[in-house]
Amino acid sequence: MWRELTTLWQSVRDPEYAHLLLESLPLYGLGFGLVVLVFAFFVREKKSRILAISLMGLSCISVWPYLDFRLSATPRILATRHVSLGPDIQRQTQLRQDTAWMYYTMAAVCAVALGMQRSKYARHAVMVVVIGGVMLFWVSIWLHQKESEVYHPNIRRLSLPSGR
């Protein structure tokens, strides 16, 4: 068992594997945080609001190490995939870099909202976080879909035959 744990630890430190672990964290962190935040907003539970906003902010910040690991892993990923996937992988990596600012902005919005939780504008700050979170959640779903299409060619969009 100890050997398996050592192997797991070595795998987690590998940039190619670590970026795969972190890739979906913003998507799921935002989704779960939004559900908790909306629930906490309606039942007026302050501690749950703080927890949800913190979760959303931390999941957005996780894009930073994800991109570092991804950039470190890209040469190896390109070397182990079919040559025809190279441009798609590079395009997707560039797309991820180009959209990182959205996550950083959302993390900043979450930090401001956390700072405003004791003010009379706390409910307004929560609404801004919810609206921004929903929009970024949809962007995250889209990015995840594009990522899946690149790394899993069998998922690529196919048109359905007519008559169905």
Q: What is the DSSP letter of 159?
A: P
Rounded CA separation 29/56 (Å): 6
- Residue 161's pLDDT is 58
Length of the chain as a residue count: 164
pLDDT digits over 60-75, tens only?
Answer: 999 998 888 888 888 8
| Structural contact between residues 117 and 164, judged by C-beta atoms closer than 8 angstroms | no
**Domain 14-151 class in CATH:** mainly alpha
* Tokens encoding 95: 């797309």
Average pLDDT value for residue range 63-88: 83
Query: Which region, left, alpha or beta, applies to residue 143 given φ > 0 means left and ψ of -120 to 50 means alpha?
Result: alpha
| CA proximity to 143, closest of 83, 100, 87 | 100
Q: Give the confidence band of 122 by pLDDT, cuts at 50, 70, 90.
A: confident
| CA proximity to 77, closest of 97, 69, 25, 141 | 69
| CA proximity to 20, closest of 148, 164, 130, 126 | 148
Residue 124 CB neighbour total at 10 angstroms: 12
Q: Which residues contact 149 (CB under 8 A, 6 or more apart)?
A: 155, 156, 157
- Residue 60's pLDDT is 95
Rounded CA separation 161/112 (Å): 50
| Structural contact between residues 9 and 67, judged by C-beta atoms closer than 8 angstroms | no
- Residue 13's pLDDT is 67
Q: Give the confidence band of 146 by pLDDT, cuts at 50, 70, 90.
A: confident
Instruction: Give residue limits of the domains in the chain.
Output: 14-151
